[in-house]
Amino acid sequence: MNDNDQDAGRAAARPKRADARRNEKALLEAAAAVFVSSGVEAPIRDIAAKAGVGTATIYRHFPTRADLIVAVYRHQVEALAEAGPALLASGETPHAALGRWADLFVDFLVTKHGLAAVLQSDDSCFDPLHSYFLDRLLPVCTQLLDAAVASGEIRPGQDAYELMRGVGSLCAGAGSNLRYDARHLVGLLIAGLGRAR
């Protein structure tokens, strides 16, 4: 739950050195800042420079770029995962809850420059990112989808994985394009699931 406790309760593993902990924190903060200004595909050197460390230090702490991205956004993804059941319990219809959850997902993705694009990439370098998002969010999406099917609002036979990828794809197309409203398109997609026609 907490990602600051490197050693809590584990006597066997030696605690990380103080400078290592310091650098990891600096790296996370630098990465968060650089991701905002230059997107998640910013050059490794930029992040290292901002954190005041060498490039190799990044690789030591976060073997792949995906690991770094996961670490930076972990909290927000967790929040997204917890929002699913909450929306389902909020009294709306399941289909509406699914739509609201999709909107949260979209808002998260479009504000993280380039994240959606990277999420769609099939470069194996991003596998850890892929896995994390899937592990954490796919069950939530599945639950919402199942509920909407059970309530009779949408047709059965829809695949939650495919739906999530679809939403991710639509967000990836956003860029900084004024004439492209990812929320609107995702709304159409969710509406298209509906039983009506």
Partner DNA sequence: AGGGATTACGGGACGTTGTTCCGTTTAGTT
Partner DNA sequence: AACTAAACGGAACAACGTCCCGTAATCCCT
- Toward DNA, which CB reaches closer, 1 or 13? 13
Q: Which residues are at the interface with DNA (CB under 7 A)?
A: 14-20, 23, 41-45, 52-57, 59-61, 64-65, 125
Separation CA 93–CA 59 (nearest Å)? 46
Alpha helices in 39-93 (DSSP H): 44-51, 55-61, 65-88
169 touches its own copies by CB under 8 A: yes
- Toward its own copies, which CB reaches closer, 59 or 126? 126
Q: How far is the CB of 186 from its own copies (least distance, A)?
A: 9
Convert residues 51-90 into a mask of x (bound to its own copies by CB under 8 A) and - (unbound).
----------------------------------------
Separation CA 97–CA 83 (nearest Å)? 10
Q: Is residue 171 within 8 Å of residue 184, measured between CB atoms?
A: no
Please choose which of its own copies, DNA, none residue 176 contacts, taking the beta carbon within 5 to 8 angstroms, the exact cut-off set by kind: its own copies
Spell 94-126 as b/e; 16+ CB within 10 A means b: bbebbbbbbbebbebbbebbbbbbbbeeeeeeb
Q: Under the rule (CB under 8 A), what is the footprint of its own copies?
A: 117, 120-122, 159, 161-163, 165-166, 168-170, 172-173, 175-177, 179-181, 184-185, 187-194, 196-197
